[in-house]
Amino acid sequence: MSHEALLRPLRIRQLTLRNRIVSTAHAPGYGFDSLPAERYLRYHEEKAKGGVALTMIGGSTAVSPDAVAPFGQLTAAEDRIIPPMSALAEAVHRHGAAVFCQISHPGRRGKWDGGAWLPPVAPSIVREPQHRGFPKEMEDWDFSRIRDDYVAAALRCKAAGLDGIELLFAGGHLMLQFFSPAVNRRVDAYGGSLANRMRYPLEVIRAVRQAIGEDFVMGVRITADEFIAEGLDQTECLTIAIGLAGSGDVDYLSIMASQTYDWRSSAFSIPGMAFPEAPYLSLAGAIKAAVPIPVLQAAWIHDLATANRAVAEGQLDLVGMTRAQIADPHMVNKLLQGRADDVRPCVGANYCINRIYAGAESLCIHNPATGREATTPQIVRKADAARRVVVVGGGPGGLEAARVCAERGHDVVLFEAEPEFGGQVRVAAQLGWRRRLGGITEWLVGQCRKRGVDLRASVTADQTAVLAVQPDVVIVATGGIANKGPIDGAELAVTSWDILTGKVAPGERVLLFDDHGGDRGLECAQFLAEHGAALEMATPERHVGIEVGGTTFSLYLRALYEKGTKLSPDLRLRTVRREGNALVAELRNEYTLKMETREVDQVVAEHGTLPRDDLYFALKPLSRNCGEIDYHALVGGRAQAIIANPAGAILLYRVGDAVASRNIHAAMFDSLRLCSDI
């Protein structure tokens, strides 16, 4: 289809953007000492190379010393940001893209026991649940110092050669706290009526515009609805949008929805696969219809067809496709080249943002090159000489190995024992709202077919079948098998895979023991609950789903509580025995060491996977490297050179869960960095 509307330029003040696709402001966790160092630069430069019109750096960049950065944000509160920001701007400009920085004061959205150890501030003393902080109510001198800090930060961005700034007046930050009656309880000129609650944000906007002049773009990100009874509704948010646009100082509005006051709200603020496509487009469209300045949507639009339609129909002027470009930073160039079907899709897993909430760096669940541009290629280069490669296993690790080897120009055969490809992704995608995970497999299979990979499904590859192909290289990606863990009587239990794949029907009274903590346990629990089981979910951890991300676990918990599921932390399943027609499970409290019993019809155990490694060990003595991998070379982005058995016929490697129980990203990263140098 044509994407003409999406590819039209747009002029904002003095700046012309080459198309309508934007990477909106976010905090990927790549900074060093709160500055945008080399990794940060390469990450944004890659998007500029890939054709984006505008990339925004510094999600929630701090303007003040008391603006704590709990998720690895940058700071524009000091002049030391100017040189590295300037270098980043030059790198982005070299490839024809524009670059803005988002600046903000988080107010109560932060912790006091970090950074400069200063108390958080807010319009009123209303605790923030997510960070559990108690703010100080702002005094007169707080108003003036924070306003001046906004001005100073904006001037630093301009001095660094950026094209504009965005003020964050959403996301639970200070200016939204002023707007929102849920937080602003003041009785002076800055509280009460909406006009009063808008007063301070408008004062900040006016001060910044006067300082930066008329030749620098300034936008504002706002929410379209807080989605809480005591907060801003759509009508009030529309009034705020009209007021900001009518000030004459704002060049565009960036629209999101919800807020981030607690974990439930965060899931709605950063919608993923559990939500419909472009869930807040109509909210943004209503604002677009009411204001005379350009409107950008900063919520989840992940496919190009929807993005083009939104612009063509006049609902938006610019489309924020941030997570889509984390999945594929070259999506715009692929579109321009007529290769839209080659765009790696964002499946909405929110692995990127969930890692940030856990204090780690942002990574895509199925593009391991993003954020690793210095050592791991987005575009795989050709090999000097073609080889014959056999890959065994059609899960994400195996398919990625086959794709990369084919990109290198090798002759690739892939064996998969099942009739369908996907491996554990197929299990993970059984729960309704997680079905978009299947997009990972669909894309990989499509890319393999395009590159001539010989895909052989329904073939159990043993040593004879592999060697019959006469390969130079064999990559074992056979994955794992479900593990019940060290339970006495484990043979009486079933696995989460048994339930999710339909091999075993859910029982009536079910105990699910999760000693893994990832999505699989909660996914199986929701599946059981939705199929009518009277369910108790036990875990030895402090809470269920301890490894599940911040924008995801609340979706599971909402579903489980609605079905009456009993959640039991701090309990370890020790034994299962049969008594009559029932099963008796004995659980030990991890702290008192006292035993408890449950009588149930079914016990489900989730303990990750064990490697399916028989083929690997059968081939190991026949290989030149004896299966060994040079980790120093692997991490450094260099080719493998180990020859431990010169008489061997093949080079042998294994990846993913065939090595150890991990996740989709780990399996694909194994394959990408290994195969990029084969």
CATH number at residue 448: 3.40.50.720
- 71 domain-assigned: yes
Is it the case that residue 171 has pLDDT exceeding 70?
yes
> What radius of gyration do the chain's Cα atoms show?
27
Q: Do residue 464 and residue 491 come from a single domain?
A: no
Is it the case that residue 577 has pLDDT exceeding 90?
yes
- 144 domain-assigned: yes
According to DSSP, residue 135 is labeled P
Q: Do residue 601 and residue 488 come from a single domain?
A: yes
Q: Do residue 55 and residue 66 come from a single domain?
A: yes
Q: Do residue 621 and residue 598 come from a single domain?
A: no
- 323 domain-assigned: yes
Q: Do residue 533 and residue 658 come from a single domain?
A: no
Q: Do residue 418 and residue 501 come from a single domain?
A: no
Averaged pLDDT, 652-669: 98
- 382 domain-assigned: no
User: What is the domain extent for residue 263?
Assistant: 4-357
Averaged pLDDT, 247-267: 94
pLDDT of residue 157: 98
Averaged pLDDT, 14-23: 98
Averaged pLDDT, 81-86: 98
pLDDT of residue 1: 61
- 205 domain-assigned: yes
CB atoms within 10 A of CB 502: 10
Confidence of residue 72 (pLDDT cuts 50, 70, 90): confident
pLDDT in tens, 397-424: 999 999 999 999 999 999 999 999 999 9
pLDDT of residue 299: 87
Q: What is the mean pLDDT of the chain?
A: 96
- 377 domain-assigned: no
- 373 domain-assigned: no
How is residue 75 written in tokens? 């700071």
Q: Do residue 598 and residue 666 come from a single domain?
A: no
Averaged pLDDT, 76-80: 97
pLDDT > 90: what percent of the chain?
94
Is it the case that residue 110 has pLDDT exceeding 90?
no
Q: Do residue 595 and residue 627 come from a single domain?
A: no
pLDDT in tens, 229-251: 999 999 999 999 999 999 999 99
pLDDT of residue 130: 83
Residue 259 neighbours by CB under 8 Å, 6+ apart: 170, 171, 172, 176, 180, 223, 226, 227, 228, 231, 265, 269
pLDDT of residue 330: 98
- 508 domain-assigned: yes
Averaged pLDDT, 421-440: 95
CA distance 671 to 666: 9
Confidence of residue 160 (pLDDT cuts 50, 70, 90): very high
CATH number at residue 552: 3.50.50.60
- Helix 82-93 / helix 140-159 crossing angle, nearest 10 deg: 50
Is it the case that residue 40 has pLDDT exceeding 70?
yes
CATH number at residue 258: 3.20.20.70
Which residue shows structure tokens 């001095």?
A: 159
Q: Do residue 659 and residue 581 come from a single domain?
A: no
Confidence of residue 131 (pLDDT cuts 50, 70, 90): confident
Which one of 607, 628, 652 terminates a domain? Answer: 607
CA distance 87 to 90: 5
CA distance 226 to 224: 7
pLDDT of residue 132: 85
Q: Do residue 636 and residue 601 come from a single domain?
A: no
Residues 390, 392, 394, 399, CA torsion sign: negative
Averaged pLDDT, 213-232: 97
Averaged pLDDT, 251-278: 93
The total number of structural domains that make up the chain? 3
Is it the case that residue 133 has pLDDT exceeding 90?
no
Pairing of strands 566-568, 571-579: unpaired
Is it the case that residue 114 has pLDDT exceeding 90?
no
Q: Do residue 293 and residue 343 come from a single domain?
A: yes
Q: Do residue 468 and residue 502 come from a single domain?
A: no
